[in-house]
Amino acid sequence: MSNANNPTAPGIIATVTEKVGHYRWTICALLFFATTINYMDRQVLGLLKPLLMKDLGWTETDFGDIVAVFSFMYALGYAGMGRFMDKVGVKIGLPIAVAGWSLCACLHGLMSSVLGFKIMRGGLGITEGGNFPASIKTIAEWFPAKERALATGIFNAGSNIGAVVTPIILPFIVMAFGWQLAFVVVGATGFVWVICWMVLYEHPEKQKRLKERELAYIRSDPIVPTQRVPWLSLFAYRGTWAFVAGMLMVNSVWWFYLNWVPGYLNKQFGINMMAAMAPLVTIYAFADIGSVGGGWLSSHLIKRGMRTLKARQIALLIMALCVVPVAMVSQVSSMWAAVLLISLAAAAHQGFAANLYTIVSDTVPANAVSSVVGLGGFAGGIMGMFMALAIGRILDATNGNYMVLFVAASVIYPSTVLVMHLILPKRGKTAAGIDV
């Protein structure tokens, strides 16, 4: 067949992006906004921490225990929602998850006790666990392999946008209405997203807004026969073990930044919620750049001819090395020096995460992607629970000394790259049909 009649021929693939249409990026944008809302709802508690500790009489241990409940339920949600998304599909599954966590986020505003916050935080965790398994599955269905890391980086950047927007708007909401309504106002945004998703989303083969050439481009990777993948058989894939190990090791570090950095800035430099706006926006703006940049890096290497898994691992290594300087945070006396070190680490984490998630769609069958992402999220959430319990107690025992926490964060990423390299396949084709 000639190139003129074959929209997936090599000569056309090189320039097809400009010709086939861009509806797949509309889907990516919806995932971006879902992730933004996910992190807005999640971050409100951390930003309100100094105020809640004062008004409700919490200790660091109380706060750590509340975060631990979220982490544990998030782990269950990640695993359960991953399998749920593979069974019912993302068209219905994702809006169910978003509506669930939005309701729980709003109900935080009615709570006044540690127990009440634990219950609502648990509900938030189990429903928020559906976002990433559904999003990674959607990316695998809507993008060819060479674009997946970039698309993942873009939607994952929503976590940083959420973390940028929340500290900007939250002080004004709190000043106008109090912290109770702050939970309600932020949480309600998810219901608007649900309406947009139901109007705009359909599976690629059924989406009438999608051009035939764009569908051909999306399906331009080699076709790998698929069949139902039993849950236990997921452990037969090296990609499953590599992803689980990666999530187990690095996920709790990001939660440490999200939940404890506002408190660190308050403790170390005495800044309140309003004064923390600029430092926190800086940190998560850098993280946003890192998310897109990390995804772009491996995609760029692949387009230049590098094998897929090698490109992912090189990108992971570069991101891991960029985290190392965060160990010096506790040794600097300038707030902005500390902020810039944390900003670099946050950017590197998000670039790391974009490639870590994409490795799943590179190495396991398409109809098992959400389940594997769910397993990794479960592992990361369980570790996050233990880390949250430990962090609260370490800070109470050391009168708020963060040094050991930042040093630990600095060494985890290079160690993770080594472990994943030892696990990932070294030759042949993966179960997703990607050349190693």
Residues 53-66 pLDDT 10s: 889 989 889 999 99
Give the model's confidence band at 221: pLDDT under 50 very low, under 70 low, under 90 confident, else very high: confident
Q: Give me the pLDDT at residue 2, please.
A: 36
> In this structure, what are the phi and psi dihedrals at residue 429, rounded to the nearest 5 degrees?
-115, 145
Query: Residue 224: pLDDT above 60?
Result: no
**Would you say 301 and 417 are in contact if contact means Cβ atoms under 8 Å apart?**
no
Higher pLDDT, 37 or 400: 37
Q: Give me the pLDDT at residue 417, please.
A: 96
Q: Give me the pLDDT at residue 156, please.
A: 81
Mean pLDDT of 232-255: 90
CA distances from 52 to 256, 263, 405 (A): 18, 11, 23
**Would you say 155 and 25 are in contact if contact means Cβ atoms under 8 Å apart?**
no
Strand partners, 429: 435
Contacts of 243 (CB under 8 A, 6+ apart): 356, 357, 359, 360, 363, 372, 373, 375, 376
Q: Give me the pLDDT at residue 15, please.
A: 44
Query: Residue 3: pLDDT above 50?
Result: no
**Would you say 201 and 142 are in contact if contact means Cβ atoms under 8 Å apart?**
no
Classify 429 as helix, strand or coil: strand
Strand partners, 389: none
Strand partners, 435: 429
Query: Residue 343: pLDDT above 90?
Result: yes
Q: Look over the chain and give the mean of its residue pLDDT values, rounded to a whole number.
A: 87
Query: Residue 251: pLDDT above 50?
Result: yes
**Would you say 189 and 101 are in contact if contact means Cβ atoms under 8 Å apart?**
no
> In this structure, what are the phi and psi dihedrals at residue 435, rounded to the nearest 5 degrees?
-70, 130
Mean pLDDT of 116-140: 92
Q: Give me the pLDDT at residue 320, please.
A: 97
Query: Residue 7: pLDDT above 70?
Result: no
The percent helix, strand, coil of the chain (3-state, each to 5) is: 80, 0, 20
Q: How far apart are CA 155 and CA 291, in angstroms?
A: 9
Cα-Cα-Cα-Cα torsion 283, 285, 286, 287, nearest 10 degrees, comes to 90
pTM for the full model? 0.74
Q: How far apart are CA 128 and CA 117, in angstroms?
A: 16
Q: Give me the pLDDT at residue 432, please.
A: 65
Q: Give me the pLDDT at residue 145, please.
A: 80
Query: Residue 367: pLDDT above 80?
Result: no
Mean pLDDT of 416-430: 87
Classify 435 as helix, strand or coil: strand
104-118, 119-133, 242-256, 264-278: range with lowest mean pLDDT = 264-278
Q: Where are the domains of the chain?
A: 19-217+233-423
Mean pLDDT of 352-379: 85
Query: Residue 107: pLDDT above 70?
Result: yes
Give the model's confidence band at 245: pLDDT under 50 very low, under 70 low, under 90 confident, else very high: very high
Query: Residue 18: pLDDT above 60?
Result: no
- Span 19-217+233-423: which CATH code? 1.20.1250.20
Q: How far apart are CA 111 and CA 107, in angstroms?
A: 7
pLDDT in tens, 301-319: 988 889 888 999 999 999 9
Highest mean pLDDT (candidates 259-268, 277-286, 415-424): 415-424
286-290, 338-342, 405-409: range with lowest mean pLDDT = 286-290
CA distances from 19 to 145, 217, 301 (A): 18, 10, 23
Phi-psi region of 271 (alpha: psi -120 to 50; beta: other; left: phi over 0): beta
Q: How far apart are CA 154 and CA 102, in angstroms?
A: 22
Rg (CA), the chain: 21
Higher pLDDT, 425 or 9: 425
CA distances from 388 to 130, 315, 377 (A): 21, 28, 16
Q: How far apart are CA 205 and CA 208, in angstroms?
A: 8
